Amino acid sequence: MYDIPLFDLNYGEEEEKAVVQTLKSRWISTGPKCAELEEKFAKMLNVRYACAVTNCTAALHLACCVLGIKSGDEVICPSLTFAATVNCIRYVGATPVFADICGIDNLCMDAEQIEELITEKTKAIIPMHYAGFPCDMQKIMEIADKRHLFVIEDACHGPLSDYKGKKLGTIGDIGCFSFFSNKNISTGEGGIVVTNHEEIYKKIRLLRSHGMTTMSYQRASGHATAYDIANLGYNYRMDDIRASLGVVQLDKLREDLERRTQIREWYCARLMKRDDIAVPFTDNQEFVSNYIFPVVLKNSNAEKRDTVRNRLHEKGIQTSVHYPAIHRFSVYQEFAGKLPNTEYVTDNEITLPMYAKLQEKDIEYICNAVEECCKLV
């Protein structure tokens, strides 16, 4: 066990009561709580439609499906991301084309590089808003509009993150969010898809549940007595137990994120002074989710980074790496290109603890430990 873990759940009696109430309702599969979560999430993001699903991987897969991405198509995406961002491209038979990140000060996909990667086969762009900080969506949308490409936002890190008057996930054609256990909104497993396009929304809802024209809750409520299978769909439904957790988590979200903003300020006040550490996204002025707190060691290598992490662990501080580069995994090596910034960051990034319960004394202890450990390598 760590004295300071990487993450801690923002759970209390409210979540327990919500689950018990759902169990007592006798409706635990997709039903009224999922509908409540969808309505609440759409309102929070000021987007027209939201559809709850089993996880963000399902959300990304459905996005690719409904936009008609298929074998022979290419999709531009980052390599510095979790595997799901890229797996969804392969699920539909398309080819991932990796764009590099901006650099150690901005770990998002480099929008300036996108245009040179576009070919006649390019069908879509999937920007991933790293740590909840926005990609250059203005540039990305300009390219997409000019080249007639779809944009699927992987906003799993960024609920309520702002970008030029909009929320991340609502700028492209489709936005995908994660409710995994360590995310800002946690239901254990879960996710949600958002869009402002009615036809896209209808297709997502259809494919979410086996392509069925009506679902069990609708039939049980007397809205229908039969159904058709209109398309080859999937079982990507969220259940009401998890949705009840999500409803409570949404009520806590703003306060949680504001607390994370304070924690980031404490970190930055200490670590930005150092010449051997880069703190990404320090030029960002907008409100963001601060899902994680990444730092990048300068003039370093993977061995030095791992030594620092091991010493931090000895001091009771849990850390992580976000992320191993996708193009280095065995299954994706055939798609690898020249990604020098991605490769440097994946070898030298350390994710430090970030959650609302952290106190200023905890951040002081972590930063002292980071400074001490860095001096020894």
Q: Which residues pair with 51 in a beta bridge?
A: 193
| Strand bridging mode 166-167 / 162-163 | antiparallel
Regarding whether 331 and 268 lie in a shared domain, the answer is: yes
Regarding whether 227 and 125 lie in a shared domain, the answer is: yes
Mean pLDDT of 56-62: 98
Residues above pLDDT 70, as percent of the chain: 97
Mean pLDDT of 319-341: 97
| Per-residue model confidence as pLDDT tens digits over 266-287 | 999 999 989 999 999 999 999 9
How many CB atoms neighbour CB 271 within 10 A? 21
In a domain, 7, yes or no: no
Contacts with 250 (C-beta within 8 Å, 6 or more apart), sequence order? 37, 40, 41, 44, 185
Mean pLDDT of 75-101: 98
Regarding whether 222 and 111 lie in a shared domain, the answer is: yes
User: pLDDT band at residue 60, thresholds of 50, 70 and 90?
Assistant: very high
- Number of structural domains found in the chain: 2
Regarding whether 47 and 35 lie in a shared domain, the answer is: yes
Per-chain mean pLDDT for the chain? 96
Residue with tokens 């609920």: 159
In a domain, 232, yes or no: yes
Mean pLDDT of 54-58: 98
Secondary structure of the chain as H, E, C letters: CCCECCCCCCCCHHHHHHHHHHHHHCCCCCCHHHHHHHHHHHHHHCCCEEEEECCHHHHHHHHHHHCCCCCCCEEEEECCCCHHHHHHHHHCCCEEEEECEEECCEEEECHHHHHHHCCCCEEEECCECHHHCCCCHHHHHHHHHHHCCEEEEECCCCCCCEECCEECCCCCCEEEEECCCCCCCCCCCCEEEEECCHHHHHHHHHHHECCECCCHHHHHCCCCCCCCECCCCCECECCHHHHHHHHHHHHHHHHHHHHHHHHHHHHHHHHCCCCCEECCCCCCCCCCCCCCEEEEECCCCHHHHHHHHHHHHHCCECCECCCCCHHHCHHHHHHCCCCHHHHHHHHHEEEECCCCCCCHHHHHHHHHHHHHHHHCC
The residues that are catalytic are 183
Residues above pLDDT 90, as percent of the chain: 92
Mean pLDDT of 310-335: 98
Using alpha carbons only, how large is the chain's radius of gyration in Å? 21
Regarding whether 188 and 277 lie in a shared domain, the answer is: no
Mean pLDDT of 106-115: 97
Considering only CA atoms, which of 144, 130, 53, 117 is closest in space to residue 85? 130
Regarding whether 349 and 236 lie in a shared domain, the answer is: no
Regarding whether 54 and 19 lie in a shared domain, the answer is: yes
Q: What angle do CA 335, 341, 345 make, to 5 degrees?
A: 100
What's the pLDDT score for residue 3?
96
- Looking at 206, 232, 249, which one is the last position of a domain? 249
In a domain, 62, yes or no: yes
What's the pLDDT score for residue 217?
57
| Amino acid (one-letter) located at 159 | P
In a domain, 143, yes or no: yes
Regarding whether 306 and 357 lie in a shared domain, the answer is: yes
Considering only CA atoms, which of 310, 285, 281 is closest in space to residue 295? 281
Residue 215: both structure tokens together: 């679902």
What's the pLDDT score for residue 242?
98
- Looking at 192, 219, 249, which one is the last position of a domain? 249
Contacts with 303 (C-beta within 8 Å, 6 or more apart), sequence order? none
Residue 16, phi then psi, degrees to nearest 5: -60, -45
Q: Which residues pair with 249 in a beta bridge?
A: none
In a domain, 6, yes or no: no
From its phi and psi, is residue 343 left (phi > 0), alpha (psi between -120 and 50) or beta? alpha
CA atoms within 13 A on the CB side of 330: 0
User: pLDDT band at residue 117, thresholds of 50, 70 and 90?
Assistant: very high
In a domain, 145, yes or no: yes
In a domain, 130, yes or no: yes
CATH classification at residue 299: 3.90.1150.10
Regarding whether 175 and 88 lie in a shared domain, the answer is: yes
Regarding whether 219 and 325 lie in a shared domain, the answer is: no
Identify the domain containing residue 262 by its residue range.
253-375
Mean pLDDT of 75-100: 98
Structural contact between residues 75 and 94, judged by C-beta atoms closer than 8 angstroms: yes
CATH classification at residue 75: 3.40.640.10
In a domain, 336, yes or no: yes
Contacts with 162 (C-beta within 8 Å, 6 or more apart), sequence order? 134, 168, 286, 287, 288
| Amino acid (one-letter) located at 253 | L
Regarding whether 139 and 47 lie in a shared domain, the answer is: yes
| Per-residue model confidence as pLDDT tens digits over 180-239 | 999 999 999 999 999 999 999 999 999 999 988 876 555 556 566 678 898 889 999 999
The span from the CA of 70 to the CA of 191, in Å, is 23
- Looking at 192, 225, 249, which one is the last position of a domain? 249
pTM listed for this prediction:
0.95
What's the pLDDT score for residue 115?
94
What's the pLDDT score for residue 377?
76
Mean pLDDT of 245-257: 98
Residue 37: both structure tokens together: 């979560």
Regarding whether 273 and 131 lie in a shared domain, the answer is: no
Q: Which residues pair with 101 in a beta bridge?
A: 109
